Amino acid sequence: MTTSTSGERATFEQEALAQLDTLYRAALRFTNDPSRAEDLVQDTMLRAFRAWKSYRAGSNARAWLLTILRNTFINDYRRARREPVAMDLDVAESLALPESARDMDPEGEFFSRIVDQKVLDAVDSLPPDFREVLVLSDMEGLAYADIAAMLEIPVGTVKSRLFRARRQLQRMLYDHAVEMGYITPRAGSGSEAS
């Protein structure tokens, strides 16, 4: 290994590994399958590393990596989204709460992890075009302009998809959000999300 490639890897790791949580979350929502999500993230990181020279330092690494992830998903993974895949033990283990977290006895936290599956299920049930913009914006914090560039659609289309995606989610999750204490229903009005 030459000095320059090891330096390259160091800067890549510094910038790109910091985005792994984001990439994994997006991959989970795209593939709807933990095992395929892991493969997608690994493929994405290897492709990104090979293309690292084309990344402009100081630009938005998160948006750059998510673009590669999305392209990889569309080219290599999308057709298989509905494929039923048996969960293997490694994956089941990685989904379980870490021992340390359980030892600290956060019973409430464990509970909240389970019920928040409702939020994820609602996101997963959105039409793909809506789900995509919602995940990129509201879960991963990309700016509208970055999403528009990534999807090659006008910013106005991003806005209208987001507006409708959020409305649909709010309808699906209104009762859950009240139950979780995130919103307080207005007295005499249950039509907030309609």
Question: How far is CA 33 from each of CA 38, 60, 123, rounded to the nearest angstrom?
Answer: 9, 27, 14
Largest Cα–Cα distance in the chain?
A: 70
The reply on whether position 5 binds another protein by CB under 8 A is: yes
Question: Could you tell me which stretch among 24-32, 56-64, 71-79, 100-108 binds another protein (CB under 8 A)?
Answer: 24-32
Distance in angstroms (rounded) separating the CA atoms of residues 170 and 184: 13
Q: Tell me the per-residue interface mask from 155 to 184 with another protein, x by CB under 8 A, - otherwise.
A: ----x--xx--x--xx--x---x--x-xx-
Of the two residues 81 and 113, which places its CB atom closer to another protein in the complex?
Answer: 113
Of the two residues 71 and 112, which places its CB atom closer to another protein in the complex?
Answer: 112
Among 71, 94, 106, 154, binds another protein (CB under 8 A): 94
Question: Could you tell me which stretch among 65-73, 77-85, 99-107, 137-145 binds another protein (CB under 8 A)?
Answer: 137-145
Distance in angstroms (rounded) separating the CA atoms of residues 102 and 110: 8
CA angle (8, 152, 64) in 5-degree steps: 15
33-67 in b/e form (b: 16+ CB < 10 A) is: bbbbbbebbebbbeebeeeeeebeeeebbbbbbbb
The reply on whether position 85 binds another protein by CB under 8 A is: no
- Residue 155 half-sphere exposure toward CB, CA atoms < 13 A: 5
The reply on whether position 23 binds another protein by CB under 8 A is: yes
Residues that bind another protein (CB under 8 A): 1, 5-6, 8-9, 12-13, 17, 20-21, 23-25, 28, 38, 41-42, 45-46, 49-50, 90, 94, 112-113, 116, 119-120, 123, 134, 137-140, 143-144, 159, 162-163, 166, 169-170, 173, 177, 180, 182-183, 186, 192
